Amino acid sequence: MIAKKIKIAPSLTVGMNQLAQKKKAAGESVVNFAAGDPVLENHPLILEGAKRALEKRNVPYTPTAGIPELRKAATKWMNERHHAEYKDAQCLVTAGGKFALYAALQALLDEGDEVLIPAPYWVSYPEMVKVFGAVPCIVPSNEGQQWKITASDIEKQLSKKSKVLILNNAANPTGALYSEEEIAAILNVAKAAQLMVISDEVYSGLVYPGKRFVSCSSFPEHQERVIVVESCSKNFGMTGWRVGFAFASQNIIEVLTALQGHSTTAASSISQWAALSALENAVEVGGYIKNAMQRRRTLFVETFNALFKKQIALPDSGLYLFLPIEERSSVEWCERVLKEAGVASVPGAAFGFEGYVRFAFSETEDSIVKGLKALHEIHAFH
Ligand code: PLP
């Protein structure tokens, strides 16, 4: 029996990460700037939440939409941070933000629909869209416009088939943040064009001093057309626990819950209790991860600027730096640098944007210095 062929590309970020792991396993020295995975011990409160759940000695299925305590805590967390107006029934707990995105696209898309995706984009958006027979419609941005698209960029790309806009704020790979006015304008265009908006906000907690994060959930008048995707992965350093959320109107949450019921059933029970502990202590646990990432961001940028003539700026949010390279192929650049310097990064091509590469500064401080020195030795940048 041959599996049905779906023409989707494997994730290049996962691919580069796996290549780096393989080299490591073979005893080679590798610094992994490819994975956006904070290398940091979990905050003890997360582990305590899980421990308490294990002590019950029974790990049953949870309700499909998530344990009520977690839905409540997550809703409170959203409402308090963003002055949003969600009720608990408007929150679905998923196995990571990724599944919330997947279920949302599955629920919204019919074959041939077009999905507007600003570039550079997170690698999985176009591939997920293709899984459902829909068509990614890329809306390019550039460094000169701070890697943001405008409402009029969207208007120019609209067609009769446009159905969904995926907005990623705070953005991976660029760290771009949209202002209140920019979001309001985008949501107004979406309303006029009857677009649904999926707002991927999984980096909302990693917004650095002096910068402001504005959520699409802060516009209750648009609640009917917005699905906000959130996650514990980056906000609380819980990537492997796999807990994310979708926030939307109740009827959409009911559809997504039904989809989840027939696919993953629910997020892991133990992970949900761990996430509850993180959310109940969101300021402390979120602060722990954000402070650590902020230190690594500064270390990465200062070390880079001391080693290279090329000078780079601190990104406003997230875990990444999206840096220009002089070579034409970002894939070749990343392969060469992995081979010659033992440093893994992700080619801009994976994000729909050639001429750039992405570095994650979520590695340990020692690794950041070691990796940058190795890049300096091979003159990776001028
Ligand atoms: N959205 C963006 C922009 C991401 O970078 C990621 C993970 O790297 C996700 C969603 C999914 O995160 P998770 O499934 O771990 O919550």
Q: Indicate whether 1 pLDDT > 60.
A: no
Give the integer Cα–Cα distance in Å for 186 and 296.
Answer: 33
* Distance between Cα 230 and ligand 1 center (Å): 9
Work out the average pLDDT over 41-58.
96
Residue 29 pLDDT: 85
CB contact burial 24-45 (16+ within 10 A = b; e otherwise): eeeeeebbbbbbbbbeeebbeb
Give the model confidence (pLDDT) of 171-209 as tens digits: 999 999 999 999 999 999 999 999 999 999 999 999 999
Across all residues in the chain, what is the average pLDDT?
95
Segment 95-109 shows an average pLDDT of 98
Rg, Å, the chain Cα set: 20
Q: How sure is the predictor about 127, in pLDDT bands with cuts at 50, 70 and 90? A: very high
Query: Which of 334, 349, 354, 298 has the alpha carbon at shortest distance from 30?
Result: 334
Residues 223-231 have a mean pLDDT of 97
Does residue 244 sit in helix, strand or coil? strand
Give the distance (Å) from ligand 1 centre to CA of residue 172: 9
Q: Which pLDDT score is estimated for 77?
A: 98
Q: Is the CB of 233 under 6 A from ligand 1?
A: yes
| Percent of the chain residues past pLDDT 90, beyond the cut | 91
CB-based contacts of 108-115 (< 8 A; 24+ apart in sequence): 108/163, 108/164, 108/196, 108/198, 109/133, 109/134, 109/163, 109/164, 110/134, 110/163, 112/161, 113/161, 113/162, 113/163, 113/164, 114/159, 114/161, 114/162, 114/163, 115/162, 115/163, 115/164, 115/165, 115/166
Ligand 1 binding pocket includes 36 (Cβ within 6 Å): yes
Compute, in angstroms, the gap from residue 202 CA to the centroid of ligand 1.
6
Cβ of 202 closer than 6 Å to ligand 1, yes or no, is yes
In degrees and rounded to multiples of 5, residue 359 shows phi and psi of -115, 135
- 100: Cβ below 6 Å to ligand 1? no
Concatenated DSSP letters of 347-368: EGGGGT-TTEEEEE--S-HHHH
Separation of alpha carbons 297 and 42, rounded Å:
19
Mean pLDDT in residue range 259-267: 97
pLDDT of residue 14: 72
Whether ligand 1 lies within 6 angstroms of the CB of 351 is answered as no
For range 47-52, the mean pLDDT = 98
pLDDT of residue 22: 84
Does 244 sit in the ligand 1 pocket, CB within 6 Å? yes
The residue to mutate among 122, 128, 232, 319, having the most atoms of ligand 1 within 8 angstroms of its beta carbon, is: 122
205 lines ligand 1 (CB under 6 A): no
Q: What is the per-residue pLDDT for 21? A: 82
pLDDT at 10 (0 to 100): 67
pLDDT at 363 over 80: yes
Sequence-separated contacts (24+) of 75-79 with Cβ below 8 Å: 75/247, 76/279, 77/279, 77/282, 78/215, 78/217, 78/228, 78/230, 78/247
Quick one: which atom of ligand 1 is closest to the CA of 101? 10
Handedness of CA 307, 312, 314, 320 (dihedral sign): negative
Q: Quick one: pLDDT at residue 24?
A: 82
Write down the pLDDT at residue 5: 57
> Is the pLDDT at 355 greater than 70, yes or no?
yes
d(CA 114, CA 133): 10
Q: Give the nearest ligand 1 atom to 97 CA.
A: 16
- 3-class SS string, 208-224: CCCCCCCCHHHCHHHHH
Q: Is 239 in the pocket of ligand 1 (CB under 6 A)?
A: yes
| Alpha-helix residue ranges (DSSP H) falling in the chain | 12-25, 44-55, 68-82, 96-108, 124-131, 151-157, 180-192, 250-261, 269-280, 282-307, 330-341, 365-377
| Residue bearing the CA closest to ligand 1, atom 11 | 98
**Residues sharing a CB contact under 8 Å with residue 356, sequence separation 6 or more, in sequence order:** 120, 322, 323, 324, 325, 330, 348
**What count of Cα atoms within 13 Å lies in the side-chain half-sphere of residue 320?**
27
43 pLDDT tier (thresholds 50, 70, 90): very high
Q: What is the mean pLDDT of residues 128-141?
A: 97
pLDDT at residue 6 in the model: 61
pLDDT for position 15: 72
Q: CB-based contacts of 352: which residues, under 8 Å, 6+ apart? A: 117, 119, 120, 121, 126, 138, 140
Q: How high is the pLDDT of residue 62?
A: 97
Q: Residues for the chain: how many in total?
A: 382
98 Cα: distance to centroid of ligand 1 (angstroms): 6
pLDDT at residue 7 greater than cutoff 70: no
CB of 172 sitting under 6 A from ligand 1: yes
Q: What is the pLDDT of residue 99?
A: 98
Instruction: DSSP for 169-211, please give it.
Output: SS-TTT-----HHHHHHHHHHHHHTT-EEEEE-TTTT-B-TT-
Mean per-residue pLDDT for 37-46? 96
Whether 42 shows a pLDDT value over 90: the answer reads yes
Confidence of residue 270 (pLDDT cuts 50, 70, 90): very high
Cα 85 to averaged position of ligand 1 atoms, centre (Å): 24
Kindly state if the Cβ of 236 falls inside 6 Å of ligand 1: no
What is the pLDDT at residue 23? 85
Counting from 1 in the atom list of ligand 1, the atom nearest the Cα of 200 is: 1
Q: Please, what is the end-to-end C-alpha distance for the chain in angstroms?
A: 52
Residue 140 has pLDDT above 90, yes or no: yes
Helix (H) or strand (E) holding 140: strand 135-140
Pocket of ligand 1 contains residue 103 by CB under 6 Å: no
What's the DSSP call for residue 234?
T
Q: What atom in ligand 1 is closest to the CA of residue 99?
A: 14
Asked if residue 230 has its Cβ within 6 Å of ligand 1, the reply is no
Check pocket membership of 201 for ligand 1, CB cut-off 6 A: no
